[in-house]
Amino acid sequence: MAVITPNTTYPNGAALSVPNHNANVYATASGRGIMSEPNGGLQVVNLDAAFTIRDEHVMPEEAVVARMDGSTIPMDVYNNAFGIRDDDDPVYVPLAGLGERLYIPYAMTAVVWQWALHISVVRPWINDIQDQSGPELANMGIRVFIDGVEQPTYRRTFPATLSLTGTPGLNMGFKDYEHTSQLWYDFALLQNNVAAGFHELTVKLYLPRVTYGSEEVLFFTPMSSFTGTFDPPSTDTVECTMHTRISFGTRSVRCVMFK
């Protein structure tokens, strides 16, 4: 807290300057207002050595501010809501329950962001056994943005949970490992000397359509492979388009700020 220097004095008989009088009480400039300067500017050196702080001296959120948001409602996101993969300019979209925008009333010494999410994914690993050109893994990942700036340390992709073997466009077989590949993430990030104003954290998803080479993956499979789906069972062949999915369970964002 700076030494308070008045904007104006009050000599007897002089006209009162209303703007200067108001600034003596509250001013945006440092070291001016008798009410504004102690508000967030009071330090240990400004106190008597015998001073004891009590509850009534500290108003709520004068030293620590906390905010939280989230959701426990399950949410499925399918890749057919996205376009074809574009490696040069991947489009990441915000996720509901994984974003928080808040106002910081004064400069903070430290701000701790925390975000957590539970996921289950259908992410195929595709291998063409005829052309032997090598397997491809469907793209899927999340990134974290703070005040619009991506934080590369917190990039995450997910395990392959579906094995597709055969020839795209022909008969393909698959094995599903989704039930053993669920994940729980809990992240934290510390920022120092954060300015007053609006700040936000957003978790975003990249989930383009499944491609092999440059085409969407189509395959043909007997109806009999869909156990219990068709009654009576059929040996007819159906054409299928491969999609991916990410399912979100409990998810939240928390922020704790220290003066």
pLDDT score at 117: 95
Residues 127 and 164 sit within 8 Å (Cβ to Cβ): yes
**Two tokens at 182?**
């669920």
What digits encode the pLDDT tens for the residues 201-216?
A: 999 998 887 766 555 6
pLDDT score at 212: 60
pLDDT score at 228: 46
CA distance 21 to 29: 14
User: Measuring CA to CA, which residue among 79, 166, 185, 76 is closest to residue 126?
Assistant: 166
What digits encode the pLDDT tens for the residues 198-252?
A: 999 999 998 887 766 555 665 555 544 444 455 555 566 666 677 889 999 999 9
What digits encode the pLDDT tens for the residues 24-72?
A: 899 888 888 888 888 777 777 888 888 887 877 777 887 889 999 999 9
Residue with tokens 């073997």: 165
DSSP letter for 177, please: -
Task: Assign 3-state DSSP to the chain and report helix, strand, coil percentages, each to 5.
Answer: 10, 45, 45
pLDDT score at 209: 78
Mean pLDDT, residues 3-31 taken together: 85
Omega before 94 within 30 of 0, i.e. cis: no
What digits encode the pLDDT tens for the residues 87-146?
A: 556 778 899 999 999 999 888 999 999 999 999 998 887 766 555 555 677 788 999 999
Range of weakest confidence among 6-15, 181-190, 211-220:
211-220
Spell out the residues 6+ positions from residue 83 whose beta carbon is closer than 8 angstroms to its own.
91, 208, 209
Phi, psi of 9 (to 5 degrees): -105, 175
Phi, psi of 43 (to 5 degrees): -120, 170
Kindly calculate the radius of gyration of the chain based on its CA atoms and give it in whole angstroms.
Answer: 29
pLDDT score at 72: 92
User: Measuring CA to CA, which residue among 118, 152, 158 is closest to residue 137?
Assistant: 158
pLDDT score at 227: 47
CA distance 10 to 16: 7
Residue 193's region, left for phi above 0, alpha for psi from -120 to 50, else beta, is left
pLDDT score at 217: 60
Residues 61 and 106 sit within 8 Å (Cβ to Cβ): no
